[in-house]
Structure 1
Amino acid sequence: MTSDTPDLLGDADGRSTRWDAHRQRRRAQLCTAARKAVHRLGPDLSMDEMAAAMGTSKSIVYRYFTDKSGLQAAVGQAVLDEIADALAQASRQQGPAQDRMRAMIEIYVSTLAQSPNVYRFVIAQQGASMSSFLSTVAEAVAVPLREILGDADPDGRLAALWANGMVGFVRGASEDWIDTPPAHRLSTTEMVELLAGWLWRGATAVSRIRTTGATS
């Protein structure tokens, strides 16, 4: 091969790179469209309904995601990554550990309140993404807990145990809350304060918040 010979391999690599970038952009666009469709119309859309609401065809969706499970997994990963990133940032903020814990609870509860349909769509697929998400959240929650425990927990095991318990508690309570009919549901602020109170003060938080409005 001489210097005048076309670099066919280079051209092929360039086209492949451009195609990969285009495919990633298109997948991201379709994920966003699917998320908006679920937010408006609910988590139980058929693929025909989903594609129509996304403004595309089912064949296009299948081309990028293979099937509904693939689309659901992609949307779920994007949503869970957003929540995990927000929680991680909150855990690293300046200020008392208790304030950071409350901020993390608020992020989680507010996410459910803003779009229950999207949350239900995401958690309907219980797989590696959800397991990884819960582990990531527990790691973020453990950050302020390690500060609280200090020398009493030199290897961080108690903080990890406490964090996993808190994550399960907040997740379970929040999902029950969002499934409650709106007319009988606590407000987002009330729910955040109640969960934060339960985690810090136990059962006495209910009567304290109900009677005085105290949040600390």
Structure 2
Amino acid sequence: MAAGSDPIVGASRDGRSTRWDPHRRERRQAIITAAIAAIEEYGPEVLTARIAEQAGVPRTHVYRHFDGKRALDLAVSAHIGNEIGEHIRGGLAVGGSARDIIGAAIGQHLRWVEEHPNLYRFVAQHAYAVRAKDSRSAVDAKAAFAAELSVLVERYLRALGVDAAAAERVIVGVVGLVDATAAWWLEGGGTPVRAVLTAELTGRVWLLIDSVGRDLGFELDPDRPLPDLP
């Protein structure tokens, strides 16, 4: 065995290193949480110094856990994307008619945008960088909405005996419409009120889904309960 390759010494060194992993993960998550709070308060262009202050650590400590500002932005975007996905998933889980489900999902999405305008702006600015790194990540409102909607629409199409591949054509149109409208609404000062915009968007999204459905050879009553999914 070559000098310096004692497996016991190596295992000991590895053990000393890995026992700090939980602490590193906790500190990393604390910085992400602090970054989100700072973005909410100061806006999407918040400086790292503000984030460090929010986290209660020196600025240099932030970059012990993230390899530069871009890495921090990607981590924050991914965390926010997961949060958005959870909110949308709650709306999609209501069951009922197509109109009920569409309205609940859109309502949850708009509620999150209304409650977290600076986070919405932040992920819109930084999502392109995450997609370049990993196109599968749900890192902004559009990606999160698409991911959750894709799963549900595909399951319903299969339940209705329709080719699930057709779901992509539905989702592209729905996601683009909802996200563009949400961005316009946010920058317009939240007018009309969320309930009115939710109802308007629900009607428009239903027209899009109905049109695609007719092209595929099936028709749905928007107010009739959909079949239970397994």
Alignment of 1:94-173 (within 5 A): 94-125=95-126, 126-129=128-131, 131=135, 132-133=137-138, 134=142, 137-146=145-154, 147=156, 150-151=160-161, 153-154=162-163, 156-173=164-181
Q: How many residues align?
A: 196
Which AA in structure 1 matches 2:16? Answer: R
Which AA in structure 1 matches 2:130? Answer: A
Matched residue, 2:206: 200
SS of the residue corresponding to residue 19 of structure 2 reads helix
CA contact (8 A) 1:100 1:144 kept: no
Matched residue, 2:196: 190
- Report the TM-score when normalising by structure 2: 0.73
Alignment of 1:47-86 (within 5 A): 47-86=48-87
- Report the TM-score when normalising by structure 1: 0.77
Change over 3 Å in CA distance of 1:84–1:119 after alignment to 2: same
CA contact (8 A) 2:28 2:65 kept: yes
Structure 1 residues not aligned, in runs of 5+: 1-5, 203-215
Change over 3 Å in CA distance of 1:56–1:191 after alignment to 2: farther
SS of the residue corresponding to residue 169 of structure 1 reads helix
Which AA in structure 2 matches 1:127? Answer: A
Looking at secondary structure, tell me which structure has more helix per residue. 1
Once the two structures are TM-superposed, the CA of residue 56 in structure 1 deviates from its matched residue by 2.6
Q: What is the Cα-based RMSD across aligned positions, in Å?
A: 2.9
Matched residue, 2:182: 174
CA distance in 2, matches of 1:46, 1:65: 15
Matched residue, 2:218: none
SS of the residue corresponding to residue 114 of structure 2 reads helix
Which AA in structure 2 matches 1:120? Answer: R
Once the two structures are TM-superposed, the CA of residue 148 in structure 1 deviates from its matched residue by 5.8
Alignment of 1:6-17 (within 5 A): 7-17=8-18
CA contact (8 A) 1:97 1:144 kept: no
Structure 2 residues not aligned, in runs of 5+: 1-6, 209-222, 224-230
CA contact (8 A) 1:37 1:54 kept: no
Change over 3 Å in CA distance of 1:92–1:12 after alignment to 2: farther
Which AA in structure 1 matches 2:150? Answer: A
Once the two structures are TM-superposed, the CA of residue 89 in structure 1 deviates from its matched residue by 4.9
Measured against aligned partners, the alpha-carbon deviations of 1:4-54 in whole angstroms (never above 9, x if no partner) come to xx9544433332322222111111011101111111111112223333344
Once the two structures are TM-superposed, the CA of residue 179 in structure 1 deviates from its matched residue by 0.9
CA distance in 2, matches of 1:47, 1:139: 30
Which AA in structure 2 matches 1:115? Answer: H
Once the two structures are TM-superposed, the CA of residue 141 in structure 1 deviates from its matched residue by 1.3
